[in-house]
Amino acid sequence: MVKKQMAKSLVITLVKSTCKAKRNQKLSVKGLGLKRIGHQVTREDNPCTRGLINKVSHLVRVEG
């Protein structure tokens, strides 16, 4: 019997405004699904998500 491993998840919170951020940073925040300051989303921990987080690491807080 093979056990499936649960994918690790990350809780991402937007903590700073994107008003003066560059366009690609705004699109990365939108790609993560964040809409406003204080908004939290849960995403699967994979290289794609990590890349988006690295682009906007100064705007978000990551837990998990």
CATH number for the domain that contains residue 30:
3.30.1390.20
Q: Is 16 a member of any domain?
A: no
Residues 29-56: what's their mean pLDDT? 97
Residue 4 resides in a domain: no
- pLDDT tens, 53-63? 999 999 999 99
Q: How many domains does the chain have?
A: 1
**5 occurs within a structural domain:** no
Q: pLDDT at residue 4 above 80?
A: no
Domain holding 28, by residue range, is: 23-63
Residue 15: C-alpha distances to residues 29, 35, 53 (Å) = 11, 11, 13
The partner residues of 63 in beta bridges, in order of sequence, read 11
